């Protein structure tokens, strides 16, 4: 019997049966069939725009992680003798009003922007998901919780962030807290809608009928089935948070002025934009390409994780 099963399996493999193509021994993206749980990764990696965007994010992360290897200068070091130097061999992207290297400051700003962006994504994602799932699963608390979320969303995000920063004061941790509050309702509404569409499925009813408690049902049966839209929204939250942090720093309500960030660099360069255009172009280009890359990655993930895209 065992011999016949192995022979049958070899015949199916030779005929290209989809159930046998998802084996670790067969390598390459083409070997990942639509039935595989990793098919979404194949779709993302087959998208050249997504691959280029991921490559750019990894490149700037590598640049900021290895800054000490390719430059021995301090991005905060003042050198008035080199103030407003145009791009050259010594300073690839010029210097600012205080003689600081613009390239080093822009690369250093990657740390702050991505730290704030991903921190806000994780915090707002975790808190917002719990709020949205709880509101959808327990109807008694749905209305009061969602009205609070609607009240927070009634404020323009940047206005609410400025108001919170005025209460907290300047600091990276306060920027993270303020923007987390701003973006929690976005995740909560998405989680609530997704949970409402899942909680009445047969497998959830079956788990409830055999006495499974609410928390295991939420974590084991509901959360895995709403994770895809949440992770896609998370990539957009990172991009929005980076823009919001740059806006706060530009207005002087973000991180302390001595910390290099793209927003503060834009604010410092606006007064000398006529004679030192590179002070605006460099941080603006970093901000633009980073946000664009994150949005393109989010679009690729949305297309890959959407089951309807597998039918096209």
Shared domain for 75 and 19, answered yes or no, is no
Same domain membership, residue 89 and residue 16: no
- Count of domains in the chain? 2
Identify whether residues 132 and 171 lie together within a single domain.
yes
Give me the domain span that covers residue 9.
Answer: 2-26
Q: What's 53's domain CATH number?
A: 1.10.3720.10
Q: pLDDT 10s digit of each residue in the chain, 312 long?
A: 445 555 555 554 555 444 444 444 345 677 787 777 778 888 899 999 999 999 999 999 999 988 878 777 778 888 888 888 888 888 888 898 888 999 999 999 999 999 999 999 999 999 999 999 999 999 899 999 999 999 999 999 999 999 999 999 889 999 999 999 999 999 999 999 999 999 889 989 999 999 999 999 999 999 999 998 999 999 999 999 999 999 999 998 989 888 889 999 999 998 888 888 999 999 999 999 999 999 999 999 988 887 665 555
Shared domain for 262 and 140, answered yes or no, is yes
User: What's the pLDDT score for residue 79?
Assistant: 84
Q: Is residue 152 part of a domain?
A: yes
Q: Note whether 161 and 244 are same-domain residues.
A: yes
Which tens digit of pLDDT belongs to each residue from 248-263? 999 989 898 888 899 9
130's tokens: 């719990």
Residues 21, 169, single domain; the answer is no
Give residue 309's pLDDT. Answer: 53
pLDDT for res 13? 54
User: What is the structure's pLDDT at 311?
Assistant: 53
Answer yes or no: do 10 and 50 share one domain: no
* 50 plus 94 within the same structural domain: yes
Instruction: Take residue 67 and report the two structure tokens written for it.
Output: 């800054």
63, 234 Cβ separation under 8 angstroms: no
SS (H, E, C) the chain: CHHHHHHHHHHHHHCCCHHHCCCCCCCCHHHCCCCCCCHHHHHHHCCHHHHHHHHHHHHHHHHHHCHHHHCCCCCCCCCHHHCCCCCCCCCCCCECCCCCEHHHHHHHHHHHHHHHHHHHHHHHHHHHHHHHHHHHHCHHHHHHHHHHHHHHHCCCHHHHHHHHHHHHCCCHHHHHHHHHHHHHHHHHHHHHHHHHHHCCCHHHHHHHHCCCCHHHHHHHHHHHHHHHHHHHHHHHHHHHHHHHHHHHHHCCCCCCCCCCCHHHHHHHHHHHCCCCCHHHHHHHHHHHHHHHHHHHHHHHHHHHHCHHHHHC
State the pLDDT at residue 31.
77
Q: Do 197 and 250 fall within a single domain?
A: yes
């Amino acid at each position: 019997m065992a011999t016949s099963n192995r022979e049958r399996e070899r015949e199916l493999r030779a005929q290209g049966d989809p159930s046998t193509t998802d084996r670790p021994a067969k390598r390459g993206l083409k070997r990942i069939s639509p039935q595989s749980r990793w098919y979404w990764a194949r779709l993302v990696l087959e998208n050249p725009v997504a691959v280029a965007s991921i490559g750019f994010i990894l490149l700037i992360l590598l640049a900021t992680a290895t800054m000490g290897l390719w430059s021995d200068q301090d991005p905060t070091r003042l050198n008035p003798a080199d103030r407003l130097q145009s791009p050259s061999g010594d300073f690839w992207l010029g210097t600012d009003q205080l003689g600081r290297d613009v390239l080093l400051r822009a690369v250093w700003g990657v740390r702050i922007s991505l730290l704030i962006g991903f921190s806000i994504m994780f915090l707002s994602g975790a808190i917002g998901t719990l709020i949205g799932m709880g509101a959808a699963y327990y109807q008694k608390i749905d209305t009061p919780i969602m009205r609070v979320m609607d009240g927070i969303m009634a404020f323009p995000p940047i206005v609410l962030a400025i108001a919170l920063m005025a209460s907290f004061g300047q600091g990276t941790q306060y920027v993270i807290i303020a923007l987390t509050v701003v973006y929690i309702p976005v995740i909560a509404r998405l989680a609530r809608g997704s949970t409402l569409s899942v909680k009445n499925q047969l497998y959830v009813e079956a788990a409830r009928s055999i006495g499974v408690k609410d928390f295991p049902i939420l974590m084991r049966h509901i959360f895995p089935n709403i994770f895809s839209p949440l992770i896609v929204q998370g990539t957009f939250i990172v991009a929005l948070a980076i823009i919001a942090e740059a806006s706060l720093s530009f207005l002087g309500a973000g991180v302390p002025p001595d910390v290099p960030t793209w927003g503060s660099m834009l604010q410092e360069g606006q007064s000398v934009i006529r004679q030192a255009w590179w002070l605006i172009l460099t941080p603006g280009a970093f901000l633009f390409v980073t946000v664009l890359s994150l949005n393109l990655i989010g679009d690729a993930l949305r297309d890959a994780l959407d089951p309807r895209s597998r039918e096209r």
